[in-house]
Structure 1
Amino acid sequence: MSIPDEQIFPHATGNAVSTVEAHKDPQELVFYAGWFCPFVQRTWITLEEKGIPYQYKEVNPYKKEKHFLDINPKGLVPAVEYHGKALYESLVLCEFLDDAYPDHKPNILPSDAYTKAYARIWIDFIGKSFVPAFFRLLQAQEADKQDAARTEIYEALHKFVAQVKGPYFLGEEFSLIDVAIVPFITRDYILAEHRAYNRQAVSADWKRYADYVEQRESVVKTKSEKDKYEQIYGRYLKDEAQSEAAKAIRAGRAIP
């Protein structure tokens, strides 16, 4: 049985509660978020990494306020309001935060032009190869489709981890490449419990990387409790989710 919309947990839990509480006061940057969303967590991790002052505002995905829709007509989180101007799209926001707050270190993209371009190639790979496969495996109902999606994930992760210089993708420095993939790593227990996914089955190197990166302080601080995520992803496991990502996967389109 599906959980009714009004029974979906309305706010962050676990470690993320303290992070939300620390960012209630008005700031020049307002962060519109959904505690459960992996795309939101990308931007949230970046805010925490850089120590940028921000005001956290939870957006009810089922009752979006007019002001939020005026800011982002797509109605998707994450979004920010900065000096009264609106921006959205998770990775765009991460890069914006680097540019708008250059004195807040560390930067999440390398300063070297070549390495920055190289990073963007692998960020693009995550978005086009790994993330769609992640959702396809979540939503697949038939065993053969689950097997195909799982194989697709493993193949993508083999290519990814072959380039990891360790302990993070670029070596010692945590970067936007790690930010782009780690929210899905923190949620891969859903695939492990329901879709026969296994980090070790990808490779020992992938398990080592995944185990390490999910322990980053900014990642831990923006995580909610597993059972609350389970409520959200239960809908994907039944292919009943109505998020834009779920609808795109169902229709064979790119995730918006």
Structure 2
Amino acid sequence: DFYRFKAWALVVMSGERTIEAHAPRDSPCEQSKLRFYCSWFCPCAQRTWVCLEYLSDAGLLDYTYIPINPYVPGENNQDTKTPLSLAEKAEKYPDFVAASPRGLVPALADRSGGGENVVNDSLVCCEYLADLCPQSGLMPPSPVDRAKVRMFWEHCASQVIPHFYKMLMFKSDQREQAKQDLLAGLSFANAKMQAVSPQGGMFLGGNRFSLGDMALGPWMQRIPIVLGAYRGFELPKTEEFERLHQWWEVLRVFPAFQKCLVDEDRLKRNYAGYADGSATSEVARDWVGIGNKKPTPAGPATTN
């Protein structure tokens, strides 16, 4: 059963080691035909990365990890959230921009079919991998279950993830509403997951890993690490969120997911630009700039 599976899954391999294991090889004949353009800190890219690791572990494909840093380096090469222009990205990473014309991760370049197929956007990349390896179960065979996965993905994209960034980036007088909106979105996600799989385990139940788990997984990882550190936020351990907590305990020890977890302190430092209001990335522009009135930046980043 999935509890034995959970115990078996307690083998940890860091994201840094996974990146090294899939780094470009010296010999062209040793290169994988599937190239994955990723930024280690990006939760959207992590969705695709976990799917790739899952398929790689199953022996269904191999891939090459191409690291992308879309931001201007800070002092002493520290992380910033000031993006390179598209022209600068094209000059620095021409193959990446060819695969992702907006210069956003994740992106895939697949040469397995003779030519080169390019794919970008996290959902599209994940569905492409699911279609490439239908036997993997990344997307379930049932049209009803596939619809459940897509509806859960849409809910997380519109009712959870934006409020994660708003709570991190908004000033204190605006932050409480963002917190309540985040809790409301997570409460609905809990109820939806409970309805889909009341028996527990992954989104589809038991150990059935799927794209449904990647709708929210990378942000569940960041809630305690990032929101906990910068905003003192903790997801309440109440019945309202019980299914989410139980699901997270299963997902966080899933081998493919663990292989894509980078050092927590490194991840926390990377989000300082969002927490102190200095970020000008696409995420910052999208969520801080929502509506007619631009919210006031948060102020200096501090951790609890």
TM-score normalised by L of structure 2:
0.74
What corresponds to 2:95 in structure 1? 67
For residues 97 and 205 of structure 1, what CA distance do their matches in structure 2 show? 28
For residues 235 and 202 of structure 2, what CA distance do their matches in structure 1 show? 16
What corresponds to 1:22 in structure 2? 21
For residues 265 and 181 of structure 2, what CA distance do their matches in structure 1 show? 27
For residues 21 and 246 of structure 1, what CA distance do their matches in structure 2 show? 30
Post-superposition shift, 1:55? Answer: 0.5
2:274 is the counterpart of 1:236: yes
2:64 is the counterpart of 1:55: yes
1:223 to 261, 276, 288: 261
1:112 to 134, 142, 165: 142
2:234 is the counterpart of 1:206: no
> Percent identity between the aligned chains?
29
Matches for 1:138-217 after TM superposition, within 5 Å: 138-142=168-172, 144-164=173-193, 165=197, 166-172=200-206, 173-189=208-224, 190-201=226-237, 203-217=241-255
Secondary structure in 2 matching 1:45: helix
Q: Cα RMSD (Å) of the superposition?
A: 1.7
Q: 1:7-39 deviations in whole A, cap 9, x for unaligned?
A: xxxxxxx70122112212311110001011001
More moved, 65-74 vs 185-194: 65-74
2:41 to 31, 36, 42: 36
Task: Give the counterpart letter for 1:181 in structure 2.
Answer: L
- Tell me which structure has the larger Cα radius of gyration: 2
**Cα gap change, 1:140/1:114 in structure 2, threshold over 3 Å: closer, same or farther?**
same
For residues 100 and 192 of structure 1, what CA distance do their matches in structure 2 show? 37
2:105 is the counterpart of 1:77: yes
Post-superposition shift, 1:133? Answer: 0.8
2:120 is the counterpart of 1:88: yes
For residues 71 and 209 of structure 1, what CA distance do their matches in structure 2 show? 34
Post-superposition shift, 1:211? Answer: 2.9
For residues 138 and 147 of structure 2, what CA distance do their matches in structure 1 show? 13
The answer to whether the 8 Å contact 2:170/2:288 transfers is no
For residues 16 and 208 of structure 1, what CA distance do their matches in structure 2 show? 23
1:122 to 131, 152, 159: 152
Post-superposition shift, 1:184? Answer: 0.6
Which runs of 5 or more residues in structure 1 are unaligned? Answer: 1-13
What corresponds to 1:4 in structure 2? none
Task: Give the counterpart letter for 1:231 in structure 2.
Answer: R
Secondary structure in 1 matching 2:236: helix
What corresponds to 1:8 in structure 2? none
For residues 223 and 86 of structure 1, what CA distance do their matches in structure 2 show? 26
